[in-house]
Amino acid sequence: MTESDIRLVLQATLQALVGLQLSIARDAASMKVFHFGDIRPHISGKGTVGAYALHVQCPWRIVSDDGVVTGASDRFVPPCEDAEVDDEDARLGNLQLVRIAALLKGYDTSTKSHVNSTDELVVTSVTSDKYGGAELLLSGGYRLQIFPDSSHEEDWRFIDVKGRHVVIEKGRASTME
């Protein structure tokens, strides 16, 4: 696949998110998971999902015109002065979680997920680059930026409601049904 093909695949894939709200942010081990669209029960009966999800294992950040709101590295920063990172506290155990909580404003204790209880963070447009990076423009003046940094591992994947995966790995995009 050529660099332009990667961009085209990502542009076409991520276009499905336009008009959908960032609805859930949660952790799965060291991976950050962002869900978009209406929240529904998972097909297994355990937990909840959005219509689409991004499973991000590479650097990412949420920015506004004022600067970086939070990003992947904030996971290792204490939530406040005179505190320590608490990996057992899925709600407020590090600076990243505190900042996501302030942005989304809701929390589901049963799924240990931050949920969007605002009218903001609707995807208005998407762009991608030749390295498998992506930027999602969100309402409210925010952007979710994903930038792969590995030459040998999976960086992130897009999953749709039908279970199709578009995987970004080693600077390439591949599709799995």
Higher pLDDT among residues 171 and 18, named by residue? 18
CA distance 14 to 134: 9
pTM of the model: 0.94
- Check if the beta carbon of residue 56 is closer than 8 Å to that of residue 149: no
pLDDT digits (tens, 9 = 90+) for 110-149: 999 999 999 999 999 999 999 999 999 999 999 999 999 9
Mean pLDDT in residue range 32-36? 98
Q: Is the pLDDT reported for residue 1 higher than 70?
A: no
- Check if the beta carbon of residue 123 is closer than 8 Å to that of residue 131: no
The pLDDT of residue 147:
95
Q: Is the pLDDT reported for residue 4 higher than 60?
A: no
Q: Report the candidate in 168, 162, 159, 164 with the shortest Cα–Cα distance to residue 128.
A: 168
* Sheet strands (E) in the chain: 22-28, 31-36, 40-41, 48-49, 52-56, 60-64, 67-71, 105-108, 113-116, 123-128, 134-138, 142-146, 154-160, 165-169, 172-176
pLDDT digits (tens, 9 = 90+) for 73-106: 999 999 999 999 999 899 999 999 999 999 999 9
